[in-house]
Structure 1
């Protein structure tokens, strides 16, 4: 039986292929491209996990992403990511480590509490949040970053957008849930700035865990250098591996 890490990485790679209108092979992996959303890093990137010459991967990034204003290479191997780091640093890329975490506890009992969000309800919230996070970005960029969410609907058998509201009715926290072939991923967990520290994210996460009960694994990916990984740890998630991202803009 494949490990939790192997199943999680295979899930992510399959999700990327299914949601993308165009995938091409590159050394050690593949690239995804979406001409509708050229400002979206996540929809235009390389995903590499097999042994490859870093110079060949850098060359492929320049070639495949030639019409984009960025270069993003996700490396789904801790060993390979560490090996690639010097060459990518020399080429001007920023390096980030990501922690793959799998849920090891018992899913909460009872029905999920989170609200189901459709695209008409979600898109205005995404525009609001991207404007707050990227105040200098133009409206075209904001619109692409919000609208690209529709591509996720093709990524898994179940793609759910979930949220919880503050007492005043404003959507306070939101996240995605993807389930495919018995594996579940929680992704894009976000709490609006003015609602942080009030338990909304915890309520949302417990609801997502209840909804995903029975999946193996239930996983998420967190920034290795950021505080949310500690929050996820308190909820019952444990690190099962690391991946790497290299970005140049």
Structure 2
């Protein structure tokens, strides 16, 4: 494992621990739980940094641990950092009814942004009072059949992110009509910065809002020793990030049953 990948994974682990009210030890790692947001997969999951036993032992023990630790949740989510182990576990988790996603840890290796550099004029920081209605709107569009309670919980889980790092900020790009067209989070802690939650509303895609937003976030994070993000290996944004100067550090795996 490269030093950069190790720092990125360590950042993700620490961020999850700091924001979660409850931590539970599980084979190979730990689980985080948050009763405030029971429908949030990201706030209620198992995280497995490493494994010293056999692959078959890992499959049986982790499936059992997920059922036990997440018994009060409607979902099961197991995140495995080791690429080889995650690939090996895929058949057993598929047989147990889980879907498999491969995630890419990507670090910014592009040209350094000028510092100080003012962000593009259309990018602004968003306070929670303004961000929450935007999140509710976007979740309602994504989950049209979900109850208002579920949508509100998925929006409000952002409040816990404020505990995850020394610096947590939310940013948005406005469309000409004044609506927030694209948004993302920026987390920074001890020389490492993560760009997370990059999202462009369906009505505003293909208009350059995400590039404008990413340019501003990279300028703001220019002083960090490492800037990284997590991308879905099967979705197109990974190619967009590559064009911006992000390079692959490693792959992780997540297994979800709903």
3-state SS in 1 of match to 2:129: helix
Alpha-carbon distance in structure 2 between the residues aligned to 1:2 and 1:232: 20
**Residues 1:107 and 2:112 are matched in the alignment:** yes
Task: Please point out which of 79, 85, 88 is paired with 1:83.
Answer: 88
Alpha-carbon distance in structure 1 between the residues aligned to 2:177 and 2:245: 30
1:2 Cα deviation after fit: 6.0
Alpha-carbon distance in structure 2 between the residues aligned to 1:135 and 1:126: 13
Contact 1:103–1:217 (Cα < 8 Å) also in 2: yes
Aligned residue for 1:23? 23
Aligned residue for 2:167? 158
Task: Please point out which of 217, 220, 243 is paired with 2:226.
Answer: 217
**Residues 1:139 and 2:144 are matched in the alignment:** no
Matches within 5 A, 1:1-249: 3-51=3-51, 52=53, 53-109=58-114, 110-113=117-120, 114-249=123-258
1:47 Cα deviation after fit: 0.4
Q: State the TM-score, normalized to the length of structure 1.
A: 0.98
**Between Structure 1 and Structure 2, how many residues are aligned?**
249
Alpha-carbon distance in structure 1 between the residues aligned to 2:145 and 2:225: 41
- Could you report, residue by residue, the CA deviation over 1:196-240 in whole angstroms, capped at 9, with x for unpaired residues? 111110000000000001212100000000000000000000111
Runs of at least 5 residues in structure 2 that lack an aligned partner in the other structure: none
Q: State the TM-score, normalized to the length of structure 2.
A: 0.94
Alpha-carbon distance in structure 2 between the residues aligned to 1:2 and 1:198: 36
Contact 1:4–1:217 (Cα < 8 Å) also in 2: yes
3-state SS in 2 of match to 1:47: strand
